Amino acid sequence: MNDETPMRRPEMQAAAATPMMAQYIEIKTANPDSLLFYRMGDFYELFFDDAEVASRALGITLTKRGKHQGDDIPMCGVPVHAADDYLQKLIGLGHRVAVCEQMEDPAEAKKRGSKSVVRRDVIRLVTPGTITEEKLLDPAESNYLMALGRVKGGEGESLALAWIDISTGAFRVAATGADRLLADILRIDPRELIVAEPVYHEAGLRPVFDVLGRTASPQPANLFDSASAEMRLTRFYEVATLEGFGHFSRAELSAVSGIIAYVEKTQKAERPPLGRPERDAEGASLFIDAATRANLELARTLSGNREGSLLKAIDRTVTGAGKRLLAERLMSPLTDPGHIRERLDAVSFFLADPSLREAARALLKGVPDFARALSRLALNRGGPRDLGALAAGFSAAAGIADLFETPDLPAEVAGIRDVVRALPYGIAAHLERALADELPLLKRDGGFVRAGYDAELDEMRALRDQSRRVIAGMERDLIEETGIRSLKIRHNNVLGYYIEVTANNAQALNGSDEAKARFIHRQTMANAMRFTTTELAEMETKIANAAARALTIELAVFDALQKEAVDAAAAIRAAADALAMADVSTALATLAEAENYCRPQVDESLDFHIEGGRHPVVEQALRKQLAEPFVANDCDLSPVGDEKSGAIWLLTGPNMGGKSTFLRQNALIVVMAQMGSFVPAAEARIGMVDRLFSRVGASDDLARGRSTFMVEMVETAAILNQAGERALVILDEIGRGTATFDGLSIAWAAVEYLHEQNRCRALFATHFHEMTALSEKLPRLANVTMRVKEFDGEVVFLHEVGRGAADRSYGVQVARLAGLPHAVVERAREVLHQLEEGEMSGKASKLIDDLPLFSIAMKKEPAKAKAPDRLGEELATVNPDELTPREALDMLYRLKGIASKG
């Protein structure tokens, strides 16, 4: 339920409501935080506050049904067959939904008495982190549910995160800390974070949950009990001991316990095929804090769009699983150079063999999302097409295994081959034999078992289909017998098969005693009457039995195939992961070839040497929108001489010169290299970066009472307090949000601290040109600038980085390019000249005397020659030879008037 919408629970005595409403209120009381989808026939109905909330959220009509305690009961409903569409919208708005189904046939309920209510129960809680339906999931994004575990002890507080994707079975766990909690959560980007109620309201962690908003939700503390975690895990995985799972800390067990308990709570009797929890080793991924992740626009731009992000620019994958894995690698780059080299080896392998790469991609294009299909089958939410997805996945896996038979495979590619070889291909053969070529969405529709697979099924189908022809024959015979050309034999779920004639022709079927004996009246309509016969009733029984028996056989086949697949869940899930890896490696090779990327060298050194580096997103945008080449630039932050720490580049230069692009491109090259991708450069040698910090751009946080400058200082403080010698720090315009001398002082001190204390590799862009003097006393600091040329009073931005320092920022020129009024630009030039002459050293009063306020506005603007232009236009239309004396005089007066107005 949306936190902003408090649930108004109807209080009542059992005798004060109808039996159905009493049942509804009882079920609703047990699920107070969810909208209750209460099944009534072909609709899910919502009542009371749930109806009002759903009506607003879904844009559906709010009606009324009866009264409760004297008041009308608000009500709305959605059709069962379209429920997924409505669920998608509600989940997207942050609501949770309890799905309540009819657990028995209404006919069974009637046997208990006329007032008996059909037994109903909640079969599932639908939440953002637990959805599995194909229509509700984005194929390109993982759908993580995350739990936070917290344990307090003698050594202080310890925190851990556990996260699963219930749609694929992925299960991970990692230790974290209060200082990096938000960064670790955003790295995974869960759709839902569950937290023990006391932890959720703890003051020290509230800022994290405030940032996450509706994503975070409090849950009962008993779900996170680390003491009972082992029992919960052994029961879920049906094992006797956890010794084979590895060792987990108490905080990790708390998080794992919470997430398993929540899955059991939401999935009720069903058990998703989760893999065993795997630990993310501490420091195994590049630490990127929340501000840096936003500034670099890795997966989304600052406005929340995928278009314009790094992920969008580098994505060449062809499967949903591949897109998710690419995003996961991008969000969690590695810090182990050996593992990075393994990924790069796989990309190099596919880059060197284009024919093999394209053959693999052709196979992968036909691979459906069979990991998610398997999960739906395990939860009894799957259909025939999910079985078909498994069959297609097996087929692609077999093809990949054959392709990767070449000798001397890189380790990652060989691992892919070994995993897909190990698939139980007997299941694939069984699926191929059993499934028809065209599969329905729902198993209840039947028709998904291939002809020839089951002899009895073929017999029942033949009887069913033959009976249809018999019905058509009976209709022809009756038309000939009665002479009623409009007579039809039809079928519906209420009457079954019936004979229908118009009201005008009904006399022929019930006019005589003989006719009445044969044609039994069933129903009278406004313009028609319906009858049946003994022969038709007998045929209907045969047809119904044959059709029902055929469907029963098909459902039994489905159950057998489903069980066979779920029993092999671990192998199938591993194969799905392997094919995703193949997709990512071939996609990155395709990207490297198309964009002319190079293989980076990543090692344990502190080097940072980029030749011809480019911004991967801006480069593609320039080519696409302006057909212009990107200006490549070098960057070398490697240790200088005998120094054992990286260098700092102090970057000066004009606005619009490309400073921010240069800063970001070097950070993105690090991310791409350590995720295992080739990079946009001619050459790249990178000593492994363990922490990446970027402070580029200005923003405020008014909701938390922070100005733009305060946000800048908070983010800068986080960088200076956390960056070590292996960090890469990108800082842009520190100190610009306050007075000039204040800002210069802060920026000056920050650079000194980076140099002496953090001793990290850094790029520091500034307009405080006075800071270039620091290069004389800081040996690892070098001055670089964005080059410009001035020609005939115009500024040309070259977007080139070169050694040296800028002496001007060219802000006035940029203001002119932006379209500021001419008077403002000229006034700015004059003020700038006086400021540069006096350098503002105690000469403010003289400056005011020399430049009276808005003095530029009192100067006459250059004449715009409007009158001469109008005179010229008027004269151009005149032919003196054709003017009468009167017309000539009128013309003369008119021209004089125009001239006087000018």
For residue 147, which phi and psi values (nearest 5 degrees)? Answer: -125, 140
Known binding residue 153? Answer is no
- Give the C-alpha separation, 255 to 159, whole Å: 9
Edge to edge, what strands does the sheet with 71-79 contain? 63-68, 71-79, 43-47, 35-40, 97-102, 120-126
Q: What is the DSSP letter of 881?
A: G
Known binding residue 659? Answer is yes
Contact 655, 771 (CB under 8 A): no
Nearest-5° Cα angle at 510, 507 to 516: 165
- Give the C-alpha separation, 666 to 658, whole Å: 13
Cβ count within 10 A of residue 297: 22
Cα–Cα nearest to 678, from 594, 582, 579, 801: 594
- Give the C-alpha separation, 196 to 181, whole Å: 15
Contact 585, 346 (CB under 8 A): yes
- Give the C-alpha separation, 765 to 734, whole Å: 8
- Give the C-alpha separation, 399 to 422, whole Å: 13
For the four alpha carbons of 494, 495, 499 and 504, in that order, the dihedral sign comes to: negative
What does the DSSP assignment read for 519-553? SEEEEE-SSEEEEE-HHHHHHHHHHHHHHHHHHHH
Contact 713, 701 (CB under 8 A): no
Per-residue H/E/C for 164-217: EECCCCEEEEEEECCCCHHHHHHHHCCCEEEEEHHHHCCCCCHHHHHHHHHHEE
Known binding residue 783? Answer is no
For residue 177, which phi and psi values (nearest 5 degrees)? Answer: -145, 165
What three-state secondary structure class fits 791?
A: strand
Known binding residue 654? Answer is yes
Known binding residue 656? Answer is yes
What three-state secondary structure class fits 685?
A: strand
What H or E segment, with its residue span, contains residue 23? helix 19-30
Known binding residue 735? Answer is no
Known binding residue 658? Answer is yes
For residue 174, which phi and psi values (nearest 5 degrees)? Answer: -155, 145
Known binding residue 653? Answer is yes
Binding-site annotation: residue ranges for ATP:
653-660
Binding-site annotation: residue ranges:
653-660
